[in-house]
């Protein structure tokens, strides 16, 4: 297909939508019919909850600011609900699916519901793998990550993808509401912690909305939230060193940094010396530090400490 940029088409519900072959989104009946045909029963082990509301799919695509110029990577496409919404807008979608049954069935589903693939107007490629083990993707580098992430692996998958694929400029994920709150929390918040700091190493993070339980099948026991991440320059210093400081600070979050970082620095005195050198009050707690302060602190770690 041509690489000539195309402007993003208006939503399918609007009059005068693009003449390109539009994808048909899955509703409750289609999702259940596909699952029955495949003999699929959503499992808690894989955190599977399939979206059955087309309006929610459109909302996710809009919140992710997906355009016709994007190469989108999707993690956990499942039966293809979100995949179809992405194919209705993006130039190319690469889906990473761990479940062998779902991975095998997805191309056939997309061929039926997204005629734009056969027409050569959009591209789709499937990667059957564990997203946490993916180190490369086929085709052009991805520009966006959009996913309904399984609750049990949401943060590790997010951080792994942001680390491995620096070309990802924008990310929109749907996760458990509690996880969304933690990712978007600001320093000083009671839920600000390891996920909050590490996500900010890569991007500016903000809440992008709330999602109720009734848009899923089966309905989960918790509400969900949308989180938007926009890539920004990483702080100076070595990521592994900074993340080690973050892990140590929050492992004992009620303690002062002088105490919590004693093992990381080699002793309480060494921790205090590093904190002072970084311009951080030793009596402060990890929940008050920005990612830039953790990066600065990591550069002051005593060289003699066994890494």
With CA atoms as reference, report the closest residue to 271 among 263, 246, 303: 263
Rounded CA separation 35/105 (Å): 10
| Continuous segment of H or E residues that includes residue 12 | none
- Quick one: residue 69, left, alpha or beta (phi over 0 = left, psi -120 to 50 = alpha)? alpha
Summarize pLDDT for 149-180 with one digit per residue, the tens: 988 899 999 999 999 999 999 999 999 999 99
Average the pLDDT over 128-143 and give the result: 97
pLDDT exceeds 50 at position 252:
yes
pLDDT exceeds 70 at position 14:
no
* pTM assigned to the model: 0.89
pLDDT at 219: 87
pLDDT exceeds 70 at position 305:
no
Rounded CA separation 298/279 (Å): 12
With CA atoms as reference, report the closest residue to 207 among 234, 174, 231, 235: 174
Average the pLDDT over 230-249 and give the result: 97
Portion of the chain with pLDDT greater than 90, in percent: 83
With CA atoms as reference, report the closest residue to 275 among 251, 240, 255, 299: 299
pLDDT at 47: 57
Average the pLDDT over 197-222 and give the result: 95
pLDDT exceeds 50 at position 35:
yes
pLDDT at 105: 96
pLDDT exceeds 50 at position 1:
no
Ranking 13-22, 54-63, 75-84 by mean pLDDT, the lowest is 13-22
């Amino acid at each position: 297909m041509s690489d000539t940029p195309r402007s993003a088409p208006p939503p399918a519900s609007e009059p005068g939508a693009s003449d390109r072959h539009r994808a048909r989104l899955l509703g409750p009946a289609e999702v259940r019919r596909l699952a029955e045909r495949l003999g699929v029963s959503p499992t808690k082990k894989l955190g599977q909850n399939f979206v059955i509301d087309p309006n929610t799919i459109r909302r996710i695509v809009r919140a992710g600011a997906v355009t016709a110029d994007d190469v989108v990577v999707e993690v956990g496409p499942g039966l293809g609900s979100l995949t179809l919404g992405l194919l209705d807008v993006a130039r190319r979608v690469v889906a990473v699916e761990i479940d062998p049954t779902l991975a095998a069935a997805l191309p056939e589903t997309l061929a039926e519901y997204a005629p734009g693939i056969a027409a050569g107007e959009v591209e789709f490629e499937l990667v059957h793998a564990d997203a946490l083990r993916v180190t490369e993707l086929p085709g052009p580098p991805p520009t966006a990550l959009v996913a309904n992430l399984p609750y049990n692996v949401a943060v590790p998958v997010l951080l792994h993808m942001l680390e491995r694929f620096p070309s990802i400029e924008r990310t929109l994920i749907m996760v458990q509401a509690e996880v969304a709150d933690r990712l978007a929390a600001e320093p000083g918040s009671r839920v600000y912690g390891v996920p909050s700091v590490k996500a900010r190493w890569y991007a500016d993070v903000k809440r992008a909305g709330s999602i109720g339980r009734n848009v899923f099948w089966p309905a989960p026991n918790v509400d969900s939230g949308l989180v938007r991440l926009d890539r920004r320059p990483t702080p100076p210093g070595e990521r592994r060193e900074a993340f080690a400081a973050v892990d140590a600070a929050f492992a004992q979050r009620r303690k002062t940094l002088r105490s919590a970082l004693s093992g990381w620095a080699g002793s309480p005195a060494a921790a205090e010396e590093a904190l002072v050198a970084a311009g951080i009050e030793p009596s402060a707690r990890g929940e008050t530090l920005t990612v830039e302060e953790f990066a600065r602190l990591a550069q002051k770690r005593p060289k003699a400490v066994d890494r």
